[in-house]
Each structure stands twice: as structure tokens, then as C-alpha cells.
Structure 1
């Protein structure tokens, strides 16, 4: 009896690829560029090769150095995770601080502000897990950073992401996961004019 959960074997690398196979690789390359894994020049070069690829082997070579789609957040020990929790109070994480690879922000009815403007970030990717019950989480990232919120589950809450453009070369990507049940999540870059107050 065949196990339905067993992984399907990959096609032989010498077999001919079709239009759908090429399109799938192109889409994956574009996502990788949006995540800052490859720059625009390399993206154009790989797409050109993908569109003219004849075999599965040629296509596989173009994505061999990219993580598998839907790869989970990297595991991190307690010392590598920053946990911010409040029931109804206010928490500000700003100024100069070293960014771990994983952050957890839980707000029942309170407010949490994460400001990365002056932070030191040694990682290309940072994972932020949010649990916004009826609270609010505000995220400020430097210009050049990119924030991905498409994995954040939203109930009756709201998410406003104003930092979703592709990252500048060498700049981090902040991946936001978790849940905003009735709460609010706001993502923005710092204001260019000093003294301007947020209207988010």
C-alpha cells in the first residue's frame, strides 16, 4: 500500500521542462528578490535563464541556493529571543539595541512600540511573532528595510504596512507572523521631518 504522505519523487533532471515549470521558477525568483535574497541584476539574469531552460536540471540550478517555499522561522534559544508582553500597559523598545533573530510581542489591551531606527541588526532576516488581542503594536524600521506581513492572521483587527517595498541591497527583511484578533498593527519608516507626530 502506497503512503500518501510520502514525498513525491522529483522529476529526472534530464527531462524536458514545460511552460508551467518555467513560470513557477520565475515566480519563486521574484519572491526571493522581494525578500532581499538576490539583487535586481541577478534576478534579471536568472529569469532570462529560466525562460530559456530546457530541462528540470537547468531550472533546479537557478533555485538551488534558495530556501524551500514556506520554510518555517528558524528555531532560536531563549537567549536569542526577545519577548515583550503587556496586559494593559505600554512597552517601548527603542534607542540602541541589538536585534535578535526572533522577537515575540504580546499585547492584551496595551501598546507595544518596536523602533529599529537606531538598532544594530546582524541578521538578514528577523522574525516577529505578534499576538495583538485588543492591543496595538507599532513597528518603525529604517529606510531600506522591508517588512512582510502576509503571514499575519487578522481577525477583526487591522494591519497597515507602509514598509512593504523590496529591501535595499544588504538590508534586513522583517517577517511578521502571529495574530491580530481585534488589535492594530502599524508598520512605517521614521519620519523625515524632525518633530512630526504620527497620525497612524
Structure 2
């Protein structure tokens, strides 16, 4: 099996202070939940604070991502005639189905609560299409989406923050298309305003 050069390049990327802090926070939460003891917490915190690359950070939280089993049915969003939007603060389920209809579907994950390692998003773009916004640090895999008559635009970076979710998208673009991106400048300013 040949190593994916893009993944190894991402693993060699230098970690930022924010990346290290995110891992530290996840380790503290895990200790608070009793998933690691205080000695192990101390060891991993030292490694996290000394880490220079994503490759050094990733193993520190790999075994701590909670296993969440789907409770009930997947979240189904149907665009219908007028469209539908999921944004703001909401809890992300393991499986989402988005059907564009005539009005389209917009899913904004930037303020969503998500403790999953992977989310499955099944799309049917239909006439209205599906628009998705994911936070910086999340990655999207759109390789399994059938383009058909619509446009597929994945404008996300493929550098995943350790512990951040992977959005695995399947289905078809339909005529309305599928657009996946990170927040734009205006959206980032609004998010900073909400955080302060």
C-alpha cells in the first residue's frame, strides 16, 4: 500500500499554539470523564505542549474520541420549495441526509456542537443544490459524490486539526450542485464577535 503524499505532508505541517491548546483541552476533558488517569494526563500534556507537528499531536487524542452511536433516525433536511437552513448552535448527529429540492439546503457547521470523529453526509442536490460550511481544521471528503449535471466545488483545505471531524460526503450533485467551503471573511468576523 502506497502512503498518501498529501496526508504525510499534512502530518509534517507545523502545529500552532491553537492546535496545541485544542489537544490540551481535549486531554483535560478526557481526564475529567475518567478516560485517562492523572499520571497519563500529565505525560500527554507534556507531549502536547512540546509537539511541533500535527503528526506529534494526533496520537495523543486518537484513543480519546468518544464513540457515539446513532440514536434514532438520521437528521433529514429537505429543501422543498422554499429551502431549508441548519445553522447556529446545534448538535451534529453521525448521519445527515440533505435533499436540495427546489429551494436548496444550507448546512453551517461553524457553531455546531460535534464530538464525532466522522460525520456521514448523504446529499441529493436536485434542483436547489446543497451548500455546506465547515470550520477551519475540519476536512471534507467529496470523492464519492457523483457530479452528474451539477457542479461540485470543494474549496476546503485538506489540513485536518488533530481530533477535528471528517465530513464524508456521498450522493449526487443533481442540477443544483454541491458547494463545500470554510467560512468566508465576513463569517469569520461574525464568529470572532460571538466569541468575544
- TM-score per shorter chain, which class? 0.5 to 0.7
Mapped pair 1:40 → 2:55: yes
Q: CA deviation at 1:189?
A: 1.0
Is 2:125 aligned against 1:125? no
Q: Aligned with 1:89: secondary structure?
A: coil
Q: Please state how far the C-alpha of 1:25 moved relative to its aligned partner.
A: 4.7
- Kindly tell me the number of residue pairs found equivalent between the two proteins: 138
1:139 corresponds to 2:116: no
Flag structure 2 segments of 5+ consecutive residues without an equivalent: 12-53, 190-196
1:92 paired with 2:85, answer yes
SS at structure 1 position matched to 2:3 = helix
Q: Give the equivalent residue in structure 1 for 2:3.
A: 26
> Which residue in 1 is equivalent to 2:108?
115
1:89-140: CA deviation from partner (whole Å, max 9, x where unpaired): 2111001000001000001222111000100001010010001111121101
In the alignment, the residues of structure 1 paired with residue 163 and residue 69 of structure 2 have an alpha-carbon distance, to the nearest angstrom, of: 23
Instruction: Write the mapping of 1:1-200 to structure 2, written as runs, cut at 5 A.
Output: 24-27=1-4, 30=7, 39-41=54-56, 76=70, 78-79=72-73, 81-193=74-186
Query: Which entry has the higher C-alpha Rg, 1 or 2?
Result: 1
Task: Give the Cα–Cα distance (whole angstroms) in 2 for the partners of residues 175 and 194 of structure 1.
Answer: 23
The TM-score, its normalising length taken from structure 2, stands at 0.61
Whether contact under 8 Å (1:148, 1:164) holds in the other structure is no
Larger fraction in strand: 1
Partners of 1:88 and 1:109 within 8 A in 2: yes
Question: What RMSD, in angstroms, separates the aligned Cα atoms of the two structures?
Answer: 3.0
Distance 1:184 1:190, change over 3 A: same
Gaps of 5+ in 1: 1-23, 44-64, 66-73
Q: Would the alpha carbon gap of residues 164 and 100 (structure 1) be closer, same or farther in structure 2, given more than 3 Å must change?
A: same
- Indicate if the aligned counterparts of 1:88 and 1:107 stay in contact, CA closer than 8 A: no
TM-score using structure 1 length? 0.60
